[in-house]
Amino acid sequence: MVSEVRTMAGSGIPLIGNDIDTDRIIPARFLRCVTFDGLGAAVFADDRKALVGQHPFDQSQYQGAKILVVNRNFGCGSSREHAPQAIAKWGIQALIGESFAEIFFGNCVAMGIPCLTANSGTVDYLQKALAKRPQTPISLDLMAMQVHCGDFHAPVFMSEEPRNMFTEGTWDACGQLVAQAQQVRAIASKLPYMAWNR
Amino acid sequence: MSKGTLFDKVWDLHTVGTLPSGQTQLFIGLHLIHEVTSPQAFAMLRERDLNVLFPERTVATVDHIVPTENQARPFADSLAEEMMQALENNCKEQGITFYNIGSGNQGVVHIIAPEQGLTQPGMTIACGDSHTSTHGAFGAIAFGIGTSQVRDVLASQTLSLSKLKVRKIEVNGDLRPGVYAKDVILHIIRTLGVKGGVGFAYEFAGSTFERMNMEERMTVCNMAIEGGARCGYINPDAVTYDYLQGKDFAPKEAEWDRAVDWWNSLHSDADAVYDDVVVFEAQKIAPTVTWGITPGQGIAVDEVVPRADTLLEEDRPIAEEAYHYMHLHPGAPIEGTKVDVCFIGSCTNGRITDLREAAKFAQGRHVAEGVKAFVVPGSERVKKQAEAEGLDKIFLEAGFEWREPGCSMCLAMNPDKLQGDQLSASSSNRNFKGRQGSSSGRTLLMSPAMVVAAAVTGQVSDIRELL
Interface test with A, best of B160, B253, B325, B408 (most A CBs within 10 A): B160
A95 strand-pairing partners: A68, A115
The closest of B453, B451, B448, B447 to B466, measured between CA atoms, is B453
Which residues does chain B have within 8 Å of residue A192's beta carbon, measured at their own beta carbons? Answer: 258-259, 262
Task: Give the mean pLDDT of B268-276.
Answer: 98
Q: Using CA atoms, how far apart are residues A192 and A108, in angstroms rounded to an integer?
A: 34
Which residues does chain B have within 8 Å of residue A82's beta carbon, measured at their own beta carbons? Answer: 147
Nearest CA in chain B to A29: B413
Nearest CA in chain B to A184: B16
The closest of B8, B21, B19, B13 to B163, measured between CA atoms, is B8
Interface test with B, best of A16, A79, A165 (most B CBs within 10 A): A79
Q: What is the CA radius of gyration of chain A?
A: 19
pLDDT at A2: 60
Polymer length of chain A: 198
**Which CA distances in Å does A16 have to B293, B317, B424, B429?**
16, 10, 27, 25
Asked if B16's CB is within 8 angstroms of A187's CB, the reply is: yes
Which residues does chain A have within 8 Å of residue B198's beta carbon, measured at their own beta carbons? Answer: 73, 99-102
In a domain, A114, yes or no: yes
Half-sphere exposure of A86 (CA within 13 A, CB side): 23
**Which pLDDT band, with edges at 50, 70 and 90, does B67 fall under?**
very high
Half-sphere exposure of B294 (CA within 13 A, CB side): 31
Is 60 exceeded by the pLDDT of residue B142? yes
Q: Using CA atoms, how far apart are residues B331 and B86, in angstroms rounded to an integer?
A: 50
CB within 8 Å of B18: residues ≥ 6 apart: B24, B25
- Smallest CA–CA distance, residue A41 to chain B, in Å, is 17
In a domain, A156, yes or no: yes
CB within 8 Å of B298: residues ≥ 6 apart: B186, B187, B189, B190, B288, B289, B290, B291, B445
In a domain, A1, yes or no: no
Task: Give the mean pLDDT of A67-87.
Answer: 98
Nearest CA in chain B to A102: B198
pLDDT at A13: 98
Cβ atoms B344, B378 nearer than 8 A: no
Q: Using CA atoms, how far apart are residues B279 and B188, in angstroms rounded to an integer?
A: 10
Fold of B6-161: Aconitase; domain 3 (3.30.499)
Asked if B318's CB is within 8 angstroms of A19's CB, the reply is: yes
pLDDT at B51: 96
pLDDT tens figures, B199-220: 999 999 999 999 999 999 999 9
Cβ atoms B430, B418 nearer than 8 A: no
Percent of chain B, pLDDT > 90? 100
Q: Using CA atoms, how far apart are residues B222 and B214, in angstroms rounded to an integer?
A: 12
Which residues does chain B have within 8 Å of residue A98's beta carbon, measured at their own beta carbons? Answer: none
Which residues does chain B have within 8 Å of residue A77's beta carbon, measured at their own beta carbons? Answer: 130, 226, 430, 432
Q: Residue B93, class by beta-carbon neighbours within 10 Å (0-12 exposed, 13-18 middle, 19+ buried)?
A: middle
Provide the 3-class DSSP secondary structure of residue B248.
Answer: coil
Q: What is the dihedral of CA B265, B181, B134, B99, to 10 degrees?
A: 120
User: Residue B238 phi/psi, 5° resolution?
Assistant: -60, -35
Nearest CA in chain A to B228: A101
In a domain, A28, yes or no: yes
Interface test with B, best of A35, A43, A78 (most B CBs within 10 A): A78
The b/e string for B140-154 (b: 16+ C-beta within 10 A; e otherwise) is bbbbbbbbbbbbbbb
What DSSP line would sit under B295-308, residue for residue?
Answer: TT-EEETTSBPPPG
In a domain, A33, yes or no: yes
In one letter, which amino acid is B163? K
**Which pLDDT band, with edges at 50, 70 and 90, does A197 fall under?**
low
Provide the 3-class DSSP secondary structure of residue B463.
Answer: helix
Task: Give the mean pLDDT of B389-403.
Answer: 98
Mean pLDDT over each residue of chain B, to the nearest integer: 98
In a domain, A137, yes or no: yes
Provide the 3-class DSSP secondary structure of residue B373.
Answer: strand
Asked if B249's CB is within 8 angstroms of A198's CB, the reply is: yes
C-alpha of B393 from chain center: 26
Asked if B259's CB is within 8 angstroms of A29's CB, the reply is: no
Q: Which helix (H) or strand (E) holds B137?
A: none
Asked if A178's CB is within 8 angstroms of B430's CB, the reply is: no
Which residues does chain A have within 8 Å of residue B411's beta carbon, measured at their own beta carbons? Answer: 23, 28, 78
Provide the 3-class DSSP secondary structure of residue A7.
Answer: strand
Q: Quote the DSSP letter at residue A168.
A: T
Q: Using CA atoms, how far apart are residues A149 and A118, in angstroms rounded to an integer?
A: 13
Asked if A161's CB is within 8 angstroms of B146's CB, the reply is: no
Task: Give the mean pLDDT of A179-193.
Answer: 98
Nearest CA in chain A to B17: A183
pLDDT tens figures, B446-464: 999 999 999 999 999 999 9
**Which CA distances in Å does A10 have to A42, A62, A68, B260?**
22, 11, 10, 57
Q: Using CA atoms, how far apart are residues B357 and B304, in angstroms rounded to an integer?
A: 27
Which residues does chain A have within 8 Å of residue B259's beta carbon, measured at their own beta carbons? Answer: 192-193, 196
Provide the 3-class DSSP secondary structure of residue B40.
Answer: helix
Is 60 exceeded by the pLDDT of residue A1? no
pTM of this structure = 0.98
Instruction: Choose among B16, B82, B314: nearest Cβ to A34.
Output: B82
- Smallest CA–CA distance, residue B441 to chain A, in Å, is 11
Q: Using CA atoms, how far apart are residues A92 and B377, in angstroms rounded to an integer?
A: 40
Asked if A31's CB is within 8 angstroms of B17's CB, the reply is: no
Structural domain range at position A117 = 7-197
Q: Using CA atoms, how far apart are residues B212 and B223, in angstroms rounded to an integer?
A: 16
In a domain, A179, yes or no: yes
Domain at B288-465: CATH code: 3.30.499.10
To the nearest 5 percent, what fractions of chain B are helix, strand and coil? 40, 20, 45
Query: Does this chain's domain B6-161 share its CATH topology with B288-465?
Result: yes
In chain B, where are the structural domains located? 6-161, 165-240+259-284, 288-465
The closest of B349, B354, B334, B353 to B408, measured between CA atoms, is B349
Asked if B318's CB is within 8 angstroms of A76's CB, the reply is: no
pLDDT at B318: 96
Cβ atoms A37, A91 nearer than 8 A: no
**Which pLDDT band, with edges at 50, 70 and 90, does A198 fall under?**
low
Instruction: Choose among A172, A188, A196: nearest Cβ to B255.
Output: A196
In a domain, A2, yes or no: no
User: Residue B12 phi/psi, 5° resolution?
Assistant: -65, -40
Indicate the pairing of strand A137-141 with strand A146-149: antiparallel
Which residues does chain A have within 8 Å of residue B433's beta carbon, measured at their own beta carbons? Answer: 23-24, 46-47
Which residues does chain A have within 8 Å of residue B434's beta carbon, measured at their own beta carbons? Answer: 23-24, 27, 46
- State whether the Cα torsion A132-A138-A142-A144 is positive or negative: negative
- State whether the Cα torsion B241-B245-B251-B252 is positive or negative: positive
Residue B114: cis peptide before it, omega within 30 degrees of 0: no
Give how many domains chain A has, as a whole number.
Answer: 1
Q: What is the dihedral of CA B216, B121, B199, B14, to 10 degrees?
A: -170
Check which CATH number belongs to the domain holding A193 and give it. 3.20.19.10
Which residues does chain B have within 8 Å of residue A80's beta carbon, measured at their own beta carbons? Answer: 36-37, 146
**What's the start-to-end Cα distance of chain A, in Å?**
36
Q: Using CA atoms, how far apart are residues B157 and B161, in angstroms rounded to an integer?
A: 13
- Predicted ipTM beyond 0.85: yes
Q: Quote the DSSP letter at residue B1.
A: -
Assigned CATH class of B165-240+259-284 = alpha beta
**Which pLDDT band, with edges at 50, 70 and 90, does A140 fall under?**
very high
Rounded to 10 deg, the angle between the B39-48 and B147-156 helix axes is: 50
Chains A, B: CB pairs < 8 Å: 236
Interface test with B, best of A47, A70, A76, A104 (most B CBs within 10 A): A76
Cβ atoms A80, B36 nearer than 8 A: yes
